[in-house]
Amino acid sequence: MTPGFSFTVLKADGEARSGAITTPRGEIPTPAFMPVGTRAAVKAVDPEEVRASGAAILLGNTYHLMLRPGEELIRRAGGLAAFMGWRGPTLTDSGGFQVFSLAERVKIGDDGVVFSSHIDGTRIELSPERAIAVQAALGSDIAMALDECPPGDAPREVVERAIARTTLWALRQIGAPRAPGQALFGIAQGGIHVDLRLAHLGELAAMPFDGIALGGLSVGEPVPEMYRVLAEVAPAMPAERPRYLMGVGTPADILEAIGFGVDMFDCVMPTRNARNGQAFVRGGRINIKQAQYAEDPLPLEEGCPCPCCARFERRYLRHLYLVGEMLVARLLTIHNLHHFGALMRGAREAIAAGRFAEFKRGWLG
């Protein structure tokens, strides 16, 4: 493992496990949820508000950051965490996922991807080695290997070719120069094909990655399919390394995946949905724009100790949303991040107490 990086499983409850990842910039209790700070900012909130929600690590998007402000500017500013004023560890993705979803005129080959910036059309090359070099400049605590992520409905042959290329790239990246103390995770693909996933996991497990991620889930396949794959694949991931399910998900998805042994998650859902007026509450969600909240004096979620629920009523939040005041985006984001923070803390404590199944049932109501 990378010096300064370690992972300890403290307690198991069925397949679920609680533990801690140690990085040079701090410890991350697991299972952990990582808020997404796409462009060196978690949208609508400041780093201290993110921290107060219980998040111990942030995710930054390499694709966005290499375009603006550019990884070398961030390197000169002391790295991503220092640049954005976040006192803690960060994880950066490889840039690949956004290249496939946002960039234009994308060409993929064994040497990497070439694409046009969605901002100004600049032609940019992202090789496996460059994906690591950019992340080294960003100075994240955990870098992700560049992978090829096929769509959720891709035919088996396409998935097989993506796996082969991802392995080829992994071999080229595992020895590429990184920032001091920067860990590197590999990403397993395989779509909804359990046999392909298990085989790919075996290939990646043989390489000295500090952790292993599952990519290519929650990319359009039906939710029951994702659960079926996770049930068979997650417990087969190397037990002594962190297991990271990328881009997931709803509280239900997260609880399901924790039950299968996953340790790390990231998702834009708490932040993006907040900006659309949606607040997570136990057992569901509410949309603040609805007329039923016009004169509602309750907080977003009764009993929630977050700064939004402690100070503001639904009727006021609805007014802010309807007139378009940006304060509402921040307040709902704070609440949703606290909701996810409470979910993860509850899960960790439940696993430690050997009552995770009960906690899961209780949370989903």
Question: Which residues are known catalytic residues?
Answer: 93, 266
Within 85-124, the residues that bind its own copies by CB under 8 A are 85
Q: Which of 58, 329, 347, 350 touches its own copies by CB under 8 A? A: 329
Q: Which of 40, 192, 262, 264 touches its own copies by CB under 8 A? A: 40
Q: How far apart are CA 161 and CA 157, in angstroms?
A: 6
State the CB neighbour count (10 A cutoff) for residue 116: 15
Q: Which is nearer to its own copies, 258 or 309 (CB)?
A: 309
Q: Is 327 in the site for its own copies (CB under 8 A)?
A: yes
Interface region with its own copies, contact rule CB under 8 A, candidates 19-27, 222-230, 242-250, 290-298: 290-298
Binding mask 298-317 for its own copies (x = CB under 8 A): -------------xxx-xx-
Interface region with its own copies, contact rule CB under 8 A, candidates 10-18, 168-176, 204-212, 319-327: 319-327
Interface region with its own copies, contact rule CB under 8 A, candidates 138-146, 180-188, 249-257, 322-330: 322-330
Work out how close the CB of 346 gets to its own copies at its nearest, in angstroms, rounded to a whole number.
Answer: 27
By the 8 A CB rule, do 300 and 309 touch? yes
Q: Which of 206, 252, 326, 353 touches its own copies by CB under 8 A? A: 326
Q: Which is nearer to its own copies, 72 or 110 (CB)?
A: 72
Q: Is 295 in the site for its own copies (CB under 8 A)?
A: yes
Q: Which of 10, 239, 298, 322 touches its own copies by CB under 8 A? A: 322
Work out how close the CB of 275 gets to its own copies at its nearest, in angstroms, rounded to a whole number.
Answer: 9
Q: Is 272 in the site for its own copies (CB under 8 A)?
A: no
Q: Which of 7, 83, 185, 293 touches its own copies by CB under 8 A? A: 83
Q: Which is nearer to its own copies, 184 or 328 (CB)?
A: 328
Q: Which is nearer to its own copies, 42 or 248 (CB)?
A: 42
Work out how close the CB of 122 gets to its own copies at its nearest, in angstroms, rounded to a whole number.
Answer: 16
Helix/strand/coil (H/E/C) assignment for every residue in the chain: CCCCCEEEEEEEECCEEEEEEEECCEEEEECEEECECCCCCCCCCCHHHHHHCCCCCEEECHHHHHHCCCHHHHHHCCCHHHHHCCCCCEEECCCHHHHHHHCEEEEEECCEEEEECCCCCCEEEECHHHHHHHHHHHCCCEEECCCCCCCCCCCHHHHHHHHHHHHHHHHHHCCCCCCCCCEEEEEECCCCCHHHHHHHHHHHHCCCCCEEEECCCCCCCCHHHHHHHHHHHHHHCCCCCCEEECCCCCHHHHHHHHHCCCCEEECCHHHHHHHCCEEEECCEEEECCCHHHCCCCCCCCCCCCCHHHHHCCHHHHHHHHHHCCCHHHHHHHHHHHHHHHHHHHHHHHHHHCCCHHHHHHHHHC
Q: Which is nearer to its own copies, 311 or 355 (CB)?
A: 311
Q: Which residues of 37-73 are buried (b: 16+ CB within 10 A; e: fewer)?
A: bbebbbbbbebebbbbbbbbbbbbbbbbbbbeeebee
Cβ contacts of 220 within 8 Å, gap of 6 or more? 151, 152, 153
Q: Which of 21, 36, 44, 136 touches its own copies by CB under 8 A? A: 44
Q: Is 69 in the site for its own copies (CB under 8 A)?
A: yes
Count of residues that interact with its own copies, criterion CB under 8 A: 36
Q: Which is nearer to its own copies, 39 or 285 (CB)?
A: 39
Q: Which of 11, 39, 75, 285 touches its own copies by CB under 8 A? A: 39
Q: Which is nearer to its own copies, 252 or 326 (CB)?
A: 326
Cβ contacts of 305 within 8 Å, gap of 6 or more? 338
Q: Is 331 in the site for its own copies (CB under 8 A)?
A: yes
Residues that bind its own copies (CB under 8 A): 39-41, 43-48, 64, 68-69, 73, 76-77, 83-85, 294-295, 297, 311-313, 315-316, 319-320, 322-323, 325-327, 329-331
